[in-house]
């Protein structure tokens, strides 16, 4: 037995060249093939292709390989429009035709529900995509560094600390690309240095640009390692002159050695502390550190799908768990009797309450705390929801929250997922008391492997 296992392991080694037929795409956009029943992940390979790949890593249950050549090419393979696509790593599916991307994302959701929820035929609809799947990101967050005596701004190459300079980016809103490019030029002209992490010297760590699609307002945030920016008055003057869309210039100070972008201290250098964005009938003030969806066009479609799945009549009590800054709660409030949002981050709850006030919505309330604690507490007091909306992080629902939902048993649950795997696992547990009626995938981030999904669960007949 042991000898047989050792012989099996010898069959695959780092550096070995394999010829593989790619069967599907993985959750990170990599091609999936099989070598003697062992799964092999190949970055850049597409379903239907026969490829030559070099093994780079061997684990007990899988292997990873580098694409060396495509022997039989997929009809869906296209030339990536971004010249830095293969270096940057910000996208991983530009080489796949967009309609094929949508099909692959539907398949990801279906496979996750088959694998983790045990559903032979999961009720998954076709993915909702974008008419124009470019220039959709409203926020650019580019690291700053030095290379060859020049100041550069961009993203780190995957698996390295090598900064790739991005003069422009086809998935960024054109205004954010312009803000980053001009800011970099002005910083270089004024000789305001980038922060050097190894030497612990310099000033500018990150350039963050945000543009409001509906109002046209734009904000620049400079994340610095030190409190004072040299020649700051000249910097502001040049930024205002060359970037007329700016209404807010902000500094955030992060002196720590950390992977986190933002530090605790934020101050307005010029203009307003926030910009205004609108979605549908709602408006939102966005400060430098405020969370907001990165694709406003698709966010409206997402929230409309949540509203459709909720099937509200105006008589329901709705709980919005993991409510963040309250966007889903506020979207549903006009169609419900009352909406309660729960969020563990106090600053997000403050933003949610402010958003409710400025939009004149009075039938919503927001609470700081853990949903798995507040849900049963309210139930004991006779406050039970008709509908629960959950929009958890990629890790999915806490096990204790699933237990609380199975105890309280609202009539409907609408699950907004950003990770098919955790959706499948959580749905599998909820199926003890609920039926999965419909799942709607939605493409929030074209040319990346990420997919959102809105799942509708209905309490089984006879459930209390």
Residue 364 in any domain: the answer is yes
- Dihedral angle sign, alpha carbons of residues 261, 264, 269, 274: positive
Residues 145 and 200 in one domain: yes
Residues 201 and 111 in one domain: no
Other CB atoms within a 10 A radius of the CB of residue 11 amount to: 11
Nearest to 414 by CA among 325, 329, 353, 300: 329
Residue 207 in any domain: the answer is yes
Residues 122 and 144 in one domain: no
The pLDDT score that the predictor gives to residue 462 is 66
User: Residue 380: which H helix or E strand, with range?
Assistant: helix 371-380
Residue 436 in any domain: the answer is yes
The pLDDT score that the predictor gives to residue 294 is 95
Count structural domains, the chain: 3
Q: Which of 263, 287, 311 marks a domain boundary?
A: 287
CATH number for the domain harbouring residue 217? 2.40.50.1070
The pLDDT score that the predictor gives to residue 166 is 94
Residues 452 and 308 in one domain: yes
- Residue 38's domain comprises 2-77
Residues 363 and 278 in one domain: no
**Pairing state of beta strands 62-72 and 38-43?**
parallel
Confidence of residue 10 (pLDDT cuts 50, 70, 90): very low
Report residue 421 as tokens.
């795997």
Residue 218 in any domain: the answer is yes
Which long-range CB contacts under 8 A does 343-346 form with residues at least 24 apart?
Answer: 343/367, 343/368, 344/368, 344/369, 344/370
pTM: 0.91
Other CB atoms within a 10 A radius of the CB of residue 108 amount to: 25
Over residues 438-457, mean pLDDT? 97
For residues 38 and 460, what is the distance between their CA atoms, to the nearest angstrom?
A: 39
Residues 150 and 220 in one domain: yes
In the predicted structure, residue 179 carries a pLDDT above the cut 50: yes
CATH number for the domain harbouring residue 39? 2.40.50.140
Residues 300 and 445 in one domain: yes
In the predicted structure, residue 8 carries a pLDDT above the cut 60: no
Residue 464 in any domain: the answer is no
In the predicted structure, residue 143 carries a pLDDT above the cut 80: yes
Residue 85 in any domain: the answer is no
In the predicted structure, residue 417 carries a pLDDT above the cut 80: yes
Residue 222 in any domain: the answer is yes
Nearest to 448 by CA among 95, 29, 106: 29
Confidence of residue 158 (pLDDT cuts 50, 70, 90): confident
Residues 122 and 146 in one domain: no
Residues 121 and 268 in one domain: no
Q: Which of 271, 287, 303 marks a domain boundary?
A: 287
Residue 64 in any domain: the answer is yes
Cβ contacts of residue 156 below 8 Å, gap of 6+? 89, 143, 162, 163, 164
Reply yes or no on whether 418 is catalytic: yes
Residues 364 and 399 in one domain: yes
For residues 2 and 220, what is the distance between their CA atoms, to the nearest angstrom?
A: 61
Mean pLDDT score across all residues of the chain: 94
Confidence of residue 6 (pLDDT cuts 50, 70, 90): very low
Residues 173 and 264 in one domain: yes
Residues 255 and 377 in one domain: no
Q: Which of 287, 309, 334 marks a domain boundary?
A: 287
For residues 444 and 120, what is the distance between their CA atoms, to the nearest angstrom?
A: 26
Q: Indicate the angle between helix axes 371-380 and 399-408, nearest 10 degrees.
A: 20
Confidence of residue 200 (pLDDT cuts 50, 70, 90): confident
């Amino acid at each position: 037995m042991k000898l047989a296992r050792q012989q099996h392991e010898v069959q695959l080694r780092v550096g070995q060249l394999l010829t593989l037929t790619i069967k599907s795409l993985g959750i990170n956009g990599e091609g999936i093939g099989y070598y003697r029943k062992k799964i092999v992940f190949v970055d850049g390979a597409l379903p239907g292709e026969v490829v030559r790949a070099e093994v780079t890593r061997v684990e007990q249950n899988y292997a990873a390989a580098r694409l060396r050549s495509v022997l039989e090419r997929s009809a869906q393979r296209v030339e990536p429009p971004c010249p830095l696509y293969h270096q940057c790593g910000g996208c991983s599916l530009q080489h796949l035709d967009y309609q094929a991307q949508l099909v692959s994302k539907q398949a990801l959701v279906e496979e996750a529900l088959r694998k983790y929820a045990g559903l032979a035929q999961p009720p998954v609809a076709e993915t909702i995509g974008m008419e124009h799947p470019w220039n959709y990101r409203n926020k650019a967050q580019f690291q700053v560094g030095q290379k060859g005596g020049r100041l550069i701004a961009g993203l780190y190459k995957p698996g390295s600390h090598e900064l790739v300079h991005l003069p422009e980016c086809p998935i960024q809103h054109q205004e954010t690309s312009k803000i980053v490019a001009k800011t970099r030029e002005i910083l270089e002209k004024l000789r305001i240095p980038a922060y050097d992490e190894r030497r612990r010297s310099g000033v500018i760590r990150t350039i963050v640009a945000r543009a409001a699609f509906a109002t046209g307002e734009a904000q620049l945030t400079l994340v610095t390692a030190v409190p004072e920016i040299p020649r700051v008055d000249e910097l502001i003057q040049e930024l205002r002159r060359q970037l007329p869309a700016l209404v807010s210039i902000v500094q955030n100070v992060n002196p720590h050695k950390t992977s986190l972008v933002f530090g605790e201290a934020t101050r307005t250098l010029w203009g307003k502390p926030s910009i205004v964005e609108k979605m549908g009938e709602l408006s939102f003030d966005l400060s430098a550190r405020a969370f907001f969806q990165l694709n406003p066009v698709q966010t409206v479609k997402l929230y409309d799908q949540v509203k459709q799945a909720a099937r509200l009549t105006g008589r329901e009590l709705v709980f919005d768990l993991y409510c963040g800054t309250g966007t889903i709660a506020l979207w549903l409030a006009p169609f419900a009797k009352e909406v309660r949002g729960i969020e563990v981050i106090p600053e997000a709850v403050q933003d949610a309450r402010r958003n409710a006030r400025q939009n004149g919505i009075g039938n919503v309330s927001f609470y700081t705390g853990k949903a798995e604690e507040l849900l049963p507490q309210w139930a004991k007091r006779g406050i039970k929801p008709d509908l629960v909306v959950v929009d958890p992080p990629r890790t999915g629902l806490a096990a204790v929250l699933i237990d609380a939902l199975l105890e309280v048993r609202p009539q409907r649950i609408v699950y907004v997922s950003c990770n098919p795997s955790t959706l499948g696992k959580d749905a599998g547990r909820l199926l003890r008391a609920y039926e999965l009626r419909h799942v709607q995938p939605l493409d929030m981030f074209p040319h990346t492997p990420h997919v959102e999904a809105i799942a509708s669960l209905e309490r089984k007949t006879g459930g209390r």
